[in-house]
């Protein structure tokens, strides 16, 4: 593949804990030690280990283009390995602390991530207001509380004579005490971040090395010579990080602090430069929600694959194994409130009328099935977009030229990013319902009923829907465009699969490993699509051309064959993100935190950080790229005691020192599966038996000698 631009793309080079970095943040990582994901860089620190002086780039024998994609995206791959407790999780947590710290700096209006202490303080004010309100009431009310969020309490009053008031106040005051403690802990943690999160993050963009130092609450950007570039760092020179971690024991806000929740719970249009999947609440993630999200995300990718395979007259198979038999749809029974007794006057007064006024009128809207549910969804979605993305939408608003409502409507109509994707799906669905009768099964659905499309019918639905759009008359095949014509989020989705003509199975019934592979790849693609779509927005908003993907023990649930395929599957899927001609994402750095030798065999040792008890280890012994799995297990994963089970290892050692060797021992030796190992064991036993025989002969001769000596004396 030709390297059009002669640079390395984006590399996340490493992290350095600096002087006085608190152990709370760095765990077992060592101050002044550079943790480098690529070993062709040398980091020079000052004498006090309080700052990075310079970065030297050494000769690298790994080709820059080795992982690059046909769509023009430059790819770099690295990995971190080590025993449990070696510092892998500590390294990534330190990275999260860094992103939280620089994203919540007061002077930074580009990101403006709300500090966790401010979030808790807002909840505290609401609760204090409610307590004050209850105390001010003279009437004797029956009172109750409804918990809507973790700290958000809604007071319900009923006009009855009751003595509930005191018990309710006690409950609210207990909650107030809890939130005050949480607030104080959050303030203490943020003060500690300001004073003692001292560290440097090093990365490379287009052959320019950036050293970001966060010291005493201040962010400084330096070049490879250690010279200050700017004290007011702009995030367009940073990167976006997509992180996957499905471990049940990781990233628990009850343990590491509520600050991590701010990186989970956000709708900021991909401004804060990190997303962590799956989303957790107090360390817990909802596997059923993950399954539903994955089905929707899979539908995006399937749309492209199925249309493409139909054009090429090929049959698409999920995981190169399963045929797509049907895509099943059902109305979400708890989706969005239907607009009952809707008339034309009510339609014109709705906030979504500007979206559908050219599609429906008083003569036809009543004939469109699920119209009330669809419009109900639009009403709620528009309010949510306005609330969550207000700073993005109204960034350039000028009240002297137009009203706020008119400005908002123009944004919704003109925006082509992920923000309005689901709006477009509903509008196109309504348009399709009015213009087509070809596939009307989906329009006849009742709640709790299901209709199914074959893959061919699903493709026909998408393409016919696309053909009705005035904006899209081309025959272009683009994932981001096809997304706009998929069935909207008022439906539940499932997929019926089969292997050749065998029994059919639902996606949700696949093995845990197969589901996890689909979850992982489609989650990464979903966020990359959204980042890529930001380049289509007409707003002057922050966009990220460079992306870090950190996969923390992604091999969970995977059979070795699946582990062997994971990198190739990811790289193949990344070809979907864009075409070579499109602007957008330019470079991606993928970093595996792994225990899998099969993943490492796809990565050269020059790109691997080996950790042992919090310290980097040399990778000079063998090169992991295409290496023997047994060699990798011994070298890269520190298996000093061999690559067989500890139980059988002890059993063999016990046999080797045993005297005499019994029949049962020989039975165990004959069970050994490795012929070479079995031969070595037998040889050692034979040598031992030979030694025993020799020893006995020596003892016999010594006894004869002693006997003769005794006779001579007599």
CA dist 82 → 87, 566, 596, 621 (Å): 8, 20, 10, 15
DSSP state for residue 336 in the 8-state scheme: S
As a whole number, mean pLDDT of residues 606-627 equals 78
Contact indicator for 284, 208 with CB cutoff of 8 Å: no
CA atoms within a 13 Å half-sphere pointing along the CA-CB vector of 483: 24
pLDDT category of residue 624 using cuts at 50, 70 and 90: low
Q: Is residue 105 predicted with pLDDT exceeding 90?
A: no
For residue 485, the model assigns a pLDDT of 87
Residue of 228, 154, 197 lying closest to 19 (CA atoms) = 197
Structure token pair of residue 350: 């709705």
For residue 251, the model assigns a pLDDT of 93
Structure token pair of residue 708: 């003769």
For residue 596, the model assigns a pLDDT of 86
Question: Residues near 297 by Cβ (< 8 Å), separated by ≥ 6?
Answer: 522, 523, 525, 526
Q: Which of 32-36, 176-180, 539-543, 554-558 has the highest mean pLDDT?
A: 32-36
CA atoms within a 13 Å half-sphere pointing along the CA-CB vector of 496: 16
As a whole number, mean pLDDT of residues 666-686 equals 77
Radius of gyration of the chain (CA): 32
Question: Residues near 274 by Cβ (< 8 Å), separated by ≥ 6?
Answer: 96, 99, 103, 240, 241, 243, 263
What percent of the chain stands above pLDDT 90? 33
The three-class DSSP label of residue 134 is helix
Its sign, for the CA torsion 481, 482, 487, 491, is negative
- Give 662: exposed, middle or buried? Use CB within 10 Å, 0-12, 13-18, 19+: exposed
Say if residue 26 is preceded by a cis peptide, omega within 30 of 0: no
Q: Is residue 468 predicted with pLDDT exceeding 90?
A: no
Q: Is residue 430 predicted with pLDDT exceeding 60?
A: yes
Measured CA to CA, the distance from residue 597 to residue 622 in angstroms comes to 13
Q: Is residue 245 predicted with pLDDT exceeding 90?
A: yes
Contact indicator for 597, 633 with CB cutoff of 8 Å: yes
For residue 330, the model assigns a pLDDT of 86
Measured CA to CA, the distance from residue 542 to residue 407 in angstroms comes to 20
Helices and strands: H and E segment counts in the chain: 22, 22
pLDDT category of residue 677 using cuts at 50, 70 and 90: confident
pLDDT category of residue 2 using cuts at 50, 70 and 90: very low
For residue 627, the model assigns a pLDDT of 57
Q: Is residue 455 predicted with pLDDT exceeding 50?
A: yes
pLDDT tens column, 162-173: 556 677 778 888
pLDDT category of residue 93 using cuts at 50, 70 and 90: very high
Domain spans, the chain: 10-112+196-284+541-633, 116-193, 322-498, 646-713
pLDDT tens column, 469-524: 655 545 556 677 888 888 888 888 899 999 876 788 998 889 999 999 988 999 99
Per DSSP, the residues of 211-268 read EEEEETTEEEEE-TTS-EEESS--GGGS-EEEEEE--TTSS-HHHH-GGGHHHHS--S
Phi-psi domain of 495 (left: phi exceeds 0; alpha: psi -120 through 50; beta: other): beta
Q: Is residue 323 predicted with pLDDT exceeding 50?
A: yes
For residue 109, the model assigns a pLDDT of 60
For residue 553, the model assigns a pLDDT of 92
pLDDT category of residue 141 using cuts at 50, 70 and 90: very low
Q: Is residue 691 predicted with pLDDT exceeding 70?
A: no
For residue 550, the model assigns a pLDDT of 98
pLDDT category of residue 3 using cuts at 50, 70 and 90: very low
Contact indicator for 377, 490 with CB cutoff of 8 Å: yes
* This prediction's pTM: 0.82
CA dist 501 → 258, 324, 375, 409 (Å): 51, 11, 41, 50
Lowest-confidence region among 249-263, 428-442, 454-468: 428-442
For residue 196, the model assigns a pLDDT of 96
Q: Is residue 237 predicted with pLDDT exceeding 70?
A: yes
pLDDT tens column, 202-232: 999 988 999 999 999 999 999 999 888 877 7
Q: Is residue 542 predicted with pLDDT exceeding 90?
A: no
For residue 201, the model assigns a pLDDT of 98
Q: How many residues does the chain have?
A: 714
Query: Hunting for tokens 């005050």 — which residue is that?
Result: 180
pLDDT category of residue 638 using cuts at 50, 70 and 90: very low
For residue 146, the model assigns a pLDDT of 47
Question: Residues near 408 by Cβ (< 8 Å), separated by ≥ 6?
Answer: 386, 393, 394
């Amino acid at each position: 593949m030709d390297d059009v631009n002669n640079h390395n793309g984006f590399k996340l080079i490493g992290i350095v804990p600096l002087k006085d970095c608190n152990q709370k943040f760095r765990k077992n990582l060592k101050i002044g030690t550079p943790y480098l994901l690529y070993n062709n860089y040398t980091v020079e620190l000052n004498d006090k280990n309080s700052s990075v002086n310079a970065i030297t780039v050494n000769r690298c024998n790994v080709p820059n283009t080795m992982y690059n994609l046909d769509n023009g995206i430059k790819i770099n791959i690295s990995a971190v390995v080590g025993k449990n407790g070696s510092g892998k999780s500590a390294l990534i947590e330190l990275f999260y602390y860094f992103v939280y710290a620089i994203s919540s700096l007061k002077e930074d209006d580009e990101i403006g991530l709300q500090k966790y202490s401010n979030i808790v303080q807002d909840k505290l004010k609401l609760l204090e207001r409610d307590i004050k309100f209850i105390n001010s009431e003279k009437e004797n009310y029956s009172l109750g509380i409804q918990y809507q969020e973790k700290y958000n309490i809604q007071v319900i009053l009923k006009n009855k004579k009751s003595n509930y008031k005191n018990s309710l106040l006690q409950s609210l005051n207990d909650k107030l005490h809890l939130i005050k403690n949480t607030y104080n802990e959050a303030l203490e943690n943020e003060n500690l971040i300001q004073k003692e999160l001292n560290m440097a993050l090093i990365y490379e963009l287009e052959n320019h090395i950036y050293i970001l130092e966060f010291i005493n609450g201040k962010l400084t950007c330096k070049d490879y010579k250690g010279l200050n570039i700017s004290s007011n760092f702009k995030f367009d020179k940073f990167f976006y990080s997509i992180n996957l971690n499905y471990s049940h024991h990781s990233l628990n806000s009850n343990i590491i602090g509520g600050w991590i929740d701010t990186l989970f719970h956000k709708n900021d249009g991909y401004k804060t430069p990190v997303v962590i999947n799956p989303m957790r609440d107090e360390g817990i993630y909802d596997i059923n929600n993950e399954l539903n999200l994955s089905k929707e995300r899979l539908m995006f990718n399937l749309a492209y694959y199925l249309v493409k395979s139909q054009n090429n007259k090929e049959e698409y198979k999920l995981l190169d194994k399963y045929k797509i038999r049907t895509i099943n749809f059902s109305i979400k029974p708890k989706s969005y409130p239907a607009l009952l007794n809707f008339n034309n006057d009510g339609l014109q007064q709705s906030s979504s009328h500007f979206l559908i006024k050219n599609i429906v009128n008083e003569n036809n809207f009543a004939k469109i099935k699920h119209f009330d549910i669809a419009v109900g969804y639009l009403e709620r979605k528009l309010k949510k977009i306005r609330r969550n993305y207000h700073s993005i939408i109204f960034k350039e608003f000028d009240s002297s030229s137009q009203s706020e409502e008119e400005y908002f409507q123009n944004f919704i109509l003109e925006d082509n990013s992920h923000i309005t994707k689901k709006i477009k799906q509903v509008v196109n669905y309504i348009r399709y319902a009015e213009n087509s009768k070809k596939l009307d099964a989906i329009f006849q659905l009742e709640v709790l009923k299901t209709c199914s499309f074959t893959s061919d019918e699903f493709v026909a639905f998408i393409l016919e829907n696309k053909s009705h759009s005035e904006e899209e008359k081309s025959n272009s095949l683009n994932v981001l465009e096809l997304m706009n014509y998929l069935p909207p989020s008022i439906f539940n989705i499932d997929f019926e699969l089969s292997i050749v003509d065998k029994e059919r199975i639902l996606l949700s019934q696949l093995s845990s490993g197969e589901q996890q592979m689909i979850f992982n790849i489609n989650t990464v693609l979903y966020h990359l699509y959204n980042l890529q779509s930001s380049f289509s927005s007409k707003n002057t908003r922050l966009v990220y051309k460079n992306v870090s993907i950190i996969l923390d023990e992604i091999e969970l649930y995977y059979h070795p064959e699946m582990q062997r395929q994971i990198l190739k599957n990811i790289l193949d899927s990344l070809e979907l993100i864009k075409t070579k001609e499109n602007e957008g994402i330019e470079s991606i750095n993928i970093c595996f935190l792994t225990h899998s030798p099969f993943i490492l065999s796809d990565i050269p040792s020059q790109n691997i950080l080996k950790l042992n008890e919090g310290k980097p280890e040399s990778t000079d012994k063998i090169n992991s790229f295409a290496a023997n799995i047994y060699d990798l297990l011994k070298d890269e994963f520190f298996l000093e005691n061999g690559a067989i089970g500890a139980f059988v290892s002890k059993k063999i050692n016990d046999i080797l020192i045993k005297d005499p060797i019994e029949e049962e021992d020989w039975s165990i030796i004959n069970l050994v599966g490795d012929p070479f190992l079995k031969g070595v064991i037998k040889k050692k036993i034979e040598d031992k038996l030979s030694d025993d025989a020799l020893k006995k002969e020596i003892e016999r001769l010594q006894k004869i000698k002693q006997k003769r000596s005794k006779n001579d004396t007599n």
